[in-house]
Structure 1
Amino acid sequence: MLSTGQLDDNPRPAVLDLDRQVSGLAAVRRWTRDALCGVTADELEDIVLVVNELVSNAFDHGSAPRQMRVHRSMEPCFVRVEIDDGSAEVPTLGTSRLDGDRGRGMLLVNRLAKDWGVTPRSDGKTVWAEITCEPPCRIAAWPPSG
């Protein structure tokens, strides 16, 4: 189903294959909440919103193969989300407005993330975002039970 590592300072992230394992954005949001069950509710909602926007962009503007990775660091406490897709097209903030109908996803990512960027790859790109957590960053048991 998914490749996992403990979401603390372990260098192995939790991994989700977006092309084979996901039936929609609701499943991605649920997976993210399960993977980050030790993060506070407010922080989790910000992270889930960033994930939702980045994954939406990967499906709207990218191409297969698509994969998502989530890393959690304890010192300093932050969560890093990485979305791979097969397109070289780089997302931009552009002229989007928060009150517009479309095109505000990267504005939201820019506001919620401590930092974000794009790493080119030979087969596309990785769009990543880092969201700060309030210390102490609690560690939940991995994998989540239930």
Structure 2
Amino acid sequence: MKKIAEVVTRPIGRIIAYWTVTIFLAISISLSGIGQLMRFGGNVDVVTHIGFPLYITNILGAWKLLGVIAIVIPGFPRLKEWAYSGIFFLMTGAALSHAFAHDYGDGGFHMILPLFYAALAIASWALRPKSRKLF
């Protein structure tokens, strides 16, 4: 465990950790956003089961894709701050919406997955290099 901490504190280790977490977050959120925009799989059932109108998939899917673009492209540090906070609030809001609707999914999947994505967003934000920070 100490070995991992030493690697992450080194600049190259931190950069590798940042890009690993960020790419995983970007791919996951992008696939989720595309699935919502195209209404693949259980996206329709998941949204309507908790009482949201179906058009919300268009809004959420578009926000997810725009957030990923903002995080991944170089520059625009203020936009990145907004994108990270947007993804965090989107994912924690999804988990809470499912909790309030008593729709936990198999093994709590509808709560665990969005909270995992929120944790990835926090990790990516915390590990980002100075060139991607506002201050």
Say which structure is richer in helix. Answer: 2
Which structure is larger by alpha-carbon Rg, 1 or 2? 2
Say which structure is richer in strand. Answer: 1
TM-score higher than 0.5 here? Answer: no
TM-score (norm: length of structure 2) = 0.32
